[in-house]
Chain A
């Protein structure tokens, strides 16, 4: 393509290939919002199908949907609420990791807040499962910790 193409990025589309071999199209201006993608474009050129080894066909369409709205300035609180409404906690996790890999800052920050919202007022055991960690405190250590923060806030809905 002629070099003038870089000045009309608004109409150009980029092809992205997921780790499981599917190809999706995205507008160049949306691709710009994902710094990893943009770096690959800078290295490989915008004619080539950009390989994204760590993003899969389940997540990429959702991410593309988000940035489609972003470039037209249509991201509202209602859109964001709708965007995550039907996602379960694991699906949000996966999207969050993908946004991180793609260096897609706006989506990353939004999902970060959404995960925080989902963890809020959940039991400690639930949060452990979510992060995939085990409790490695001894009962004495744990009760000491609880005492140290005996002064700290307790949510009215909490039972711990």
Chain B
């Protein structure tokens, strides 16, 4: 290591910096940027492979949220796009076609289900299977069918599902172990299905009518949502495959909310899009004219489960000044929603004449503050959206 005190101010090369200083700079970069710098030269490659650096990097990455969007246009031309609010002016691309060759999955046929840490789940419609891709170990593994048998993508899209990865604080890398769960009616009973990658088996438990216990962490999975009542399954984590899942039937009382209208309003259709995730519901209201296929965003509300799980409670509305900025005409809209550490994040994706528009909204439940970010143009005109999900916890190695 060079002694930087001997250098003059103008001829300084940063190569004379101690490793720690360079690593400090690198820690401010997002993961994909760090990975590509391995190629600078041999000592940088070593620097990036240093255990303590990797540990710090992974720890920071744990709190970095990514939005993954799977887009495809034609056969085999499928790319997973990634965006993070830490590097907010660009999209990253993950080419996965090569990764999937061993399992003979074809890009045109896939639907992106979920992601967490280094694990990405895809469902194939043709063979009706699910495959788990691990980006770091570069492995691909087919998941055996659940007790319900092979499912096509339309069934998966209907279910509430969650991917949970095991994080081992003692190791510098993700262990790659995960649990994948979904809830579905069997007969008329909601049942929780949990896949464990360690045992490579599914467990299923019927959800019980019970009270939501106070405290503790839960996973909430949507089963079905009606205009007045939803059915969700809640299960405590960890040990979600052995704990008893509970049925929740929260009621939605629009009268209780502020300024909510359902249905028609003097010739204008007020559209409501509901997006669900992690025990929260986002209601996106839009105005559209009768007969026209274009709508304009009018308001966004966040609702959450009451403590006892018996009803949906109003949490907050996106402020008018923000709506003023984000309103624009669109044809179709969809979204995804997640809650992590008290922050609720939503991605709203709209399409107008083939052009895609994406918006990242977040609400901090502690500070009661909204934040929003339009996503940069992903140059995807004419492509099809085949799955979208938030994720965090990518690791370097």
Bound-state Cα–Cα, A55 to B4, Å: 12
Contact present for B95 and A94 (CB under 8 Å): no
Residues of chain B within 8 A of A132, CB atoms compared: 13-16
Interface residues of B in 5-51 (CB under 8 A from A): 5, 7, 9-10, 12-17, 21-22, 24-33, 35-45
Contact present for A120 and B38 (CB under 8 Å): no
Residue of B nearest to A134 (CB): B41
Residues of chain A within 8 A of B14, CB atoms compared: 93, 97, 130-132
Bound-state Cα–Cα, A59 to B38, Å: 31
Given A101-B4, A133-B41, A157-B90, are A152 and B35 neighbors across the interface (CB < 8 Å)?
A: yes
Contact of A151 among B45, B87, B99 (CB under 8 A): B99
Bound-state Cα–Cα, A124 to B17, Å: 19
Contact present for A156 and B41 (CB under 8 Å): no
Residues of chain B within 8 A of A59, CB atoms compared: 9
Chain B CB within 10 A, most for which of A58, A146, A149, A156 = A156
Residues of chain A within 8 A of B91, CB atoms compared: 155-156
Check if A121 is an interface residue, CB within 8 A of chain B: yes
Given A94-B10, A101-B4, A120-B87, are A153 and B32 neighbors across the interface (CB < 8 Å)?
A: yes
Residue of A nearest to B40 (CB): A128
Contact present for B29 and A156 (CB under 8 Å): no
Interchain nearest-CB distance for B324 vs A (Å): 22
Residue of B nearest to A135 (CB): B41
Given A93-B12, A94-B9, A156-B378, are A150 and B98 neighbors across the interface (CB < 8 Å)?
A: yes
Bound-state Cα–Cα, A151 to B93, Å: 10
Check if B370 is an interface residue, CB within 8 A of chain A: no
Which size class do B's interface residues fall under? 35 or more
Residues of chain B within 8 A of A112, CB atoms compared: 24-25, 27-28
Contact present for B28 and A116 (CB under 8 Å): yes
Contact of B93 among A55, A113, A136, A154 (CB under 8 A): A154
Residues of chain A within 8 A of B39, CB atoms compared: 124, 137, 142, 145-146
Contact present for A145 and B44 (CB under 8 Å): no
Given A100-B21, A115-B25, are A131 and B15 neighbors across the interface (CB < 8 Å)?
A: yes
| Additional A-B contacts beyond A151-B95, A156-B90 (4; CB < 8 A) | A101-B4, A133-B15, A133-B43, A136-B42
| Interface positions of B (Cβ within 8 A of A) | 4-5, 7, 9-10, 12-17, 21-22, 24-33, 35-45, 82, 87, 90-96, 98-99, 135, 138, 378-379
